[in-house]
Chain A
Amino acid sequence: MSRRPFGALGALALLAAVPCAESKPIAYAKGTTFMAEYGAGTMNEVQLFYAPRYFYSAGVGHLTLQSDIDGRTRDISYARFNYLAKRWNGESAQGNLFFWGGAGGAHASGAGDVFAWNAGAQADYETRRVYASLKTDFHQSSAFSHRIDTLQLGIAPYEHDYDSIATWFVVQGRRYTGEIHDGTEWAFLIRLFKGNAWVEAGATTDGNIQAMLMFNF
């Protein structure tokens, strides 16, 4: 790990715990968000962001990918800046458009340590009964180039309030480019959140576990 470029960033991110994605990269002003995702054995990601204002945050992340085509791995540690470009606040709805970008170091099977940069975007819309999110995350280095596109559609069986548990049933479709996974990976998830904690878990149609944890503090 120490031989890898920007290894300290990865170590810092991993200190926060395990293997993020989805949800929002900015929760609220002066808030810290920790997110960890276990992505069906193909990807693990952990992120830690601090938002000085509600429209931007900065922090670190670590992404591990294992190709289910050829078994090759990619370990990417990065520092990232997230920006909320637009928010629409309706009476009972909210829409957001986020962009982000960052850079760091990566270790790829057969290529050693390389510099890597990343960029992405997320558009989401939610009411207290429906949720839709489309996210794209692009990583580039001299050794690899890939993009992870994730679509989530959620429905809540009841309208939660501030002090009650929110329950969502979510369908997720994910596509990887760069010889990581062939085709679209579909997953069915249950999402629960209350207070500052968010838990999401389910399985892909291939029978692999898909899970995510998130905390705001």
Chain B
Amino acid sequence: MRKILMTSAALLLSVAANAGTIEMKVNGLVCAFCAQGIEKTLKGYPATADVVVSLENRLVAVATKEGQDIPDAELRKALTDAGYTVKSIDRTQTPIAEIREQVRKKSK
């Protein structure tokens, strides 16, 4: 029992430490020229490792550095302050490289 509890705790800790990817659905993303502001703002966060923006998927994905995170309220504020409307924020374990590849395939 003790072993199971310790394994579960270790698993939970590893998920928390490896914050993964934050995927946001955003309204108003129609022009790459103007959406640059989103990328610029999100890359400015110390916790940000990488950013992917897709107009086709209305998606803004942020990969966070290991053990770091950006609170939802801060993300929502960043996108609202950039002039866009956030519809949802989800945390996933999908690697940002995979998202970038999916986006690239869809836009071809």
Residues of A participating in the B interface, judged by any CB pair closer than 8 Å: 24, 27-31, 53-55, 84, 87-94, 126-128, 159-164, 166, 193-196, 198, 216
Please tell me if the beta carbons of A126 and B30 are within 8 angstroms of each other in the complex. Answer: yes
Query: For residue A197, which residue of chain B has the nearest CB?
Result: B33
Query: For residue B33, which residue of chain A has the nearest CB?
Result: A193
Please tell me if the beta carbons of B103 and A161 are within 8 angstroms of each other in the complex. Answer: yes
Can you sample 28 A-B contacts with CB below 8 Å? A24-B34, A27-B34, A27-B36, A27-B37, A28-B35, A28-B38, A28-B40, A29-B83, A30-B41, A31-B36, A54-B82, A55-B83, A89-B28, A91-B27, A91-B58, A93-B28, A94-B30, A126-B30, A126-B31, A159-B56, A160-B55, A162-B35, A162-B53, A162-B54, A162-B55, A163-B32, A163-B107, A198-B33
Please tell me if the beta carbons of A28 and B82 are within 8 angstroms of each other in the complex. Answer: yes
Closest 7 CB pairs of A and B: A28-B37, A89-B28, A54-B83, A161-B107, A89-B85, A89-B27, A162-B53
Please tell me if the beta carbons of A31 and B37 are within 8 angstroms of each other in the complex. Answer: yes
Query: For residue A93, which residue of chain B has the nearest CB?
Result: B30
Q: Given B27, B34, B40, B56, which contacts A90 in the complex, CB threshold below 8 Å?
A: B27
Main secondary structure of the interface of A (DSSP, over half): loop
Chain B interfacial residues counted at CB < 8 A: 26
Give the total number of A-B pairs whose CB atoms are below 8 A apart.
88
Please tell me if the beta carbons of A216 and B30 are within 8 angstroms of each other in the complex. Answer: no
Would you call B72 an interface residue if the criterion is a C-beta within 8 Å of the partner chain's C-beta atoms?
no
What distance in Å separates the Cβ of B36 from its nearest Cβ neighbour in chain A? 6
What distance in Å separates the Cβ of B12 from its nearest Cβ neighbour in chain A? 35
Q: Which chain B residues lie closer than 8 Å to A88 at the CB level?
A: 28
Give the one of B28, B41, B81 with max A CB within 10 A.
B28
Q: Given B32, B40, B54, B55, which contacts A31 in the complex, CB threshold below 8 Å?
A: B40
State A164–B31 Cα separation when bound (angstroms): 11
